[in-house]
Amino acid sequence: MAVHFLIPFLLFLQAITPSSASNSSSAAIGINYGQVADNLPSPEAVIPLLRSLGVGRVKLYDTDPRVLRAFADTGVEFVVGLPDRLVPKVRDPAAALSWVKTNLHPHLPRTRIAAVTVGNEVLSSNDSARIQSLLPAMQSVHSALATLGLDRQVAVTTAHSLAVLSTSFPPSAGAFRRDVLPYVSPLLSFLSKTGSPFLINAYPYFAYKADPKRVALDYVLFQSNQTVVDPGSGLRYDNMLHAQVDAVRAAIAAAGGGKGVEVRVSETGWPSAGDEDEAGATAENAGRYNGNLMRMVAEGKGTPMAPGAPLHVYVFALFNENLKPGPASERHYGLFKPDGAPAYPLGDAEAPVDNSTSPTAGAHSPGASSTDYYTTISSATMGTERVSVVTAASVLALILPFA
């Protein structure tokens, strides 16, 4: 792994991290370490790469023992995953205890495991057995950790897609789908009781991809000079990610039982390449999205609804993964190529590159007004790790301003 490839990243990170940033702010950025590929470097080779980037938080989709052993005594904090297929099984307390003893206990405390995600986007799936098993499985895993004296060290949570929402705009009107609410409400009570975060996978890229003529690219790339006003709260939004996160916060408040639950972004990113019909999937846009995102997180900025709470974010993803199914974009979310070279430069200050037909000026640009908006969100499977596609209707709901 050539060291000279890292120089642009090091200079970028030095530039975006303010001298006054708190430790909690600088540690708020993490990265998803996916491994759906046959050409990735060894876990041992990943360690100096992460150290060079100053990233101290890593999220896995499993409990790969090679990775967890390699990162022993490094101080890197991990969120590990219990696969979807095991969710129904570990609702049995004995099975949960066996899983924890086999997959977590041998690595603690030398490897820092801060949380376990029980499944990924289960509540927006079509698997009724997994949906019904989700909370019992989380409770069983938590009980297993308590039995081993690890419950104060390792949190138990699960990640959700935006498809769990029925209403997403304005953010203050955020609400969970009626069919999901019976499962979300007790889950929120569990998270509140155990002090665990609510994780959301949020991708403004899908909004732009679905309707590039009406979605303002600068708004999704954190480069808008205008704001969208939430008529319910009066809060102003200059980027879509914050609007998405605050819609989740509002939905949690409306559901009740989630007092004090922190919202964290467990996945967000932008592809550096894609198929011909995948608008916006370019290296330039990926560099701007992730560069501006990392700068915002490093500055410790919260969302308009919670400005004093630095937003914790896990970027998707560390590497391009050549075996991921689906459109070409799925194989180009990495900050790095498998050889350790950056997939694209970060922090370019040029104007955003819009590779779609220029949108008609007026009603659907941030800062303009609209009295027509939509609130339906749906999801479709796009691989084993990330299941989150926003329909055209929900795209408009996420970004269209109100009169």
Ordered mean pLDDT values, 10 residues apiece, the chain (403 residues): 48 48 58 97 94 90 98 97 98 98 98 98 96 98 98 98 95 97 97 97 96 95 94 97 98 91 98 97 98 94 96 97 98 96 75 41 33 26 38 38 33
User: Rounded distance, CA 101 to CA 272, Å?
Assistant: 39
For residue 49, the model assigns a pLDDT of: 87
Active site residue 121: yes
For residue 53, the model assigns a pLDDT of: 78
Active site residue 267: yes
Name the active-site residue from 44, 121, 276, 299: 121
Instruction: Tokens for 102, please give them.
Output: 């086999």
For residue 8, the model assigns a pLDDT of: 52
Q: Which letter, b or e, does each residue of 240-265 get, where b requires 16 or more Cβ atoms within 10 Å of its Cβ? A: bbbbbbbbbbbbbbebebbeebbbbb
The neighbour count for residue 204, using CB atoms within 10 Å, is 29
CA dist 49 to 273, 308, 321, Å? Answer: 23, 31, 17
SS (H, E, C) the chain: CCHHHHHHHHHHHHHHCCCCCCHHHHCCEEEECCCCCCCCCCHHHHHHHHHHHCCCEEECCCCCHHHHHHCCCCCCEEEEEECHHHCCHHHCHHHHHHHHHHHCHHHCCCCEEEEEEEEECHHHCCCHHHHHHHHHHHHHHHHHHHHCCCCCCCEEEEEEEHHHEEECCCHHHCEECCCCHHHHHHHHHHHHHHCCCEEEECCHHHHHHHCCCCCCHHHHCCCCCCCEECCCCCCEECCHHHHHHHHHHHHHHHHCCCCCCCEEEEEECCCCCCCCCCCCCCHHHHHHHHHHHHHHHHCCCCECCECCCCCCEEECCCECCCCCCCCHHHHCCCCECCCCCECCCCCCCCCCCCCCCCCCCCCCCCCCCCCCCCCCCCCCCCCCCCCCCCCHHHHHHHHCCCC
Among candidate residues 193, 14, 289, the one with its CA nearest the CA of residue 281? 289
The owner of tokens 């509140």 is 192
pTM of the model: 0.85
For residue 347, the model assigns a pLDDT of: 65
Name the active-site residue from 267, 284, 321, 385: 267
Q: Which letter, b or e, does each residue of 26-51 get, where b requires 16 or more Cβ atoms within 10 Å of its Cβ? A: bbbbbbbbbbbeeebeebeebeebbe
